[in-house]
Amino acid sequence: MRILVTGGAGFIGSNFIHYILQTYPKYQVINLDALTYAGNLENLEMWKNDPRYRFVKGDIALPSIVDPLVAESDVIVHFAAESHVDRSISDPDVFIRTNIQGTFVLLESARKHQKRFHHVSTDEVFGALGPDDAPFNEHTSYSPRSPYSASKASSDHLVRSYFHTYDLPITISNCSNNYGPYHFPEKLIPLVITNLLEGKKVPVYGDGLQVRDWLYVEDHCRAIDQIIHRGKIGETYCIGGKSERENIWIVKKIIELLGKDETMIEYVKDRSGHDRRYAIDFSKIQTELGWEPSVTLEAGLEKTVKWFEENEAWWKNIKSGTYKEYYAKQYGK
């Protein structure tokens, strides 16, 4: 099988490529990534000389790049997206282009060549939960609250429409907050870890009582594996970590793991439209495909902290921006 992975140089995409190449020795992977701010080929350095892996630098919104790659692939697993909520608030244009227009281009090519299409989405499309509300599931109404989540909701609807209108063999997954190796350092968990390793204070939005359901990235990759091989065409699957925690709990746990103290916490003004709680009911994928998370939050945080401690050069290259200079020389701007 040949899998086209869009956004494969990003956090979840690169972990998925590692997972596929390690799990299926006969599979091939094409990684299509534009190498924007969160794309980093250092994530996949170990595969660069493996004949089963090929990297293509390109924009998913350009049919001339997308179409030939879709034509030679068996399955498209679509991770590529602008994903940082803060960035979507300050600069929403690129979110519309990548997350909506880019998905449309991929769908058109998949329709032309009748290829299996899996779309990776987020729980943020469902909006926010109150403290006593039931977790999101596959029947939860969409209620996006930021340009990011609105653009992802739009792409979900597009993908679903191609199944109903054109019989395109699609599946969709909506996952909770991922964490683990290769996580871009501006996100909460890697930001806390790297700031503490550098002796810097850790910013916490508002009162820090926002609740998220945390999913270790390798568990997410296993879930997508099950969906693309055994999932029912046209269906959506919610993927959760069974690990609801307040942001401040996460921060304090990492402080504890690194032997620091809570004076490193700096409370800052909350961001606009900050959703209070997300949680996922993953009973459908558990019942139908036998998947459930295998890594507890405590164990996953320990593994993640250890990975960042052992890969200092990786995250320091990102924080300094030196990896961008390398790509500019190799691939152009």
- Which of 51, 108, 52 is closest to 78 using CA atoms? 108
Here the tokens at position 68 are: 């030939």
SS3 238: strand
> Cα separation of 295 and 310, whole Å?
20
- 177/14 Cα distance (integer angstroms): 16
Chain-centre distance of CA 266, in angstroms? 27
Q: Are 252 and 261 in contact (CB under 8 A)?
A: no
- The Cα–Cα gap between 78 and 67 comes to 14
Radius of gyration of the chain (CA): 19
DSSP letter, residue 99: I
The number of C-alpha atoms within 13 Å of 74 and in the hemisphere containing its C-beta is 8
111 Cβ contact list (under 8 Å, min separation 6):
162, 166, 168
Q: Contact, 295 vs 248, CB < 8 A? A: no
**Amino acid letter at 35?**
L
> Tokens at residue 189, please?
């968990």
Catalytically annotated residues? 123-124, 148
